[in-house]
Amino acid sequence: MSAVDELFTQLRARGEKAFIPFITAGDPNLQATSQLLAALVAQGSHLCEVGIPYSDPIADGPVIQASYTRVLKSGIGLEDIFQMLQKTVRALAAPVVTMVSHSIIHRRGPANYVEAAKQAHVSGLIVPDLPVEESSELQAICRDVDMSLIQLITPNTPPNRAEQIIAATTGFIYYVSVVGITGERQKLPQEILESVQSLQEKTSLPVCIGFGISTPDHIRMLAPVADGIIVGSAIVRRFGSTPIKADAAGMDPETLKEVEAYVKTLTTALAAC
């Protein structure tokens, strides 16, 4: 079992749902990312998702795209991110998974990438641009080292393809709540509830919902059917105006307080469901 499997086994035994925040590695700097991870866990997050900056993100909206661009311009690289995670994650009371383009994995070599991620205490990979038909090699590599390979299902995924994705997934299913890219929405479609319930009839894997979620009301709507809730753009936006410096000493204290207070409203709402 990976650390992700163990987490959801424990949560299900307690009747709890996972809160999963997303942040971009290196935005606004690596020390800030380390501080943010610790703060997010302290405010009740159960698992953290860290985005590996990439020049051509597939499904990310303008907020996360801009954060990736800021980091890439700063000169922060993959090795820097892995070194930061190696020092940070082992002290966290929560697993960390990365959102990473398959292009990055392919360029480094799947076995080498997974080995480096494992050494950095990463427990799972979310690879949004990896077609399920081409995932067998990475599946095998991840399975051999108890690394979860988390794949996405969208509202437009045909049923037969959803079954293929389920069979190729470990850790949890990432269910995309809306058609389109990441970013905050005022309202989420009611059809999500029925779609997730239908999906859960096909698998025992946890189903976590992401894209567009930003308010306690969104969480109260989705919690009855979700095993976990993922929030990204609404968090990243709150430190998007902070200048990036690769050698900076951390996060601006006021910005950190703002992020902590916001995340606390969401984890409190989820805990009450």
Edge-to-edge strand list for the sheet holding 173-176:
148-150, 124-126, 96-99, 48-51, 18-24, 228-231, 207-210, 173-176, 152-153
Element (H, E) at 48: strand 48-51
Q: Of residues 5, 6, 16, 49, which has the active-site annotation?
A: 49
Q: Of residues 5, 27, 60, 227, which has the active-site annotation?
A: 60
Amino acid occupying residue 150: I
Alpha-carbon Rg of the chain, whole angstroms?
17
| Catalytic (active site) residue 49 | yes
DSSP string, 175-192: EE-SSS-----S---THH
DSSP state of 139: H
| H helix runs in 145-230, sequence order | 159-167, 191-200, 216-222
| Catalytic (active site) residue 260 | no
Residues designated as active site: 49, 60
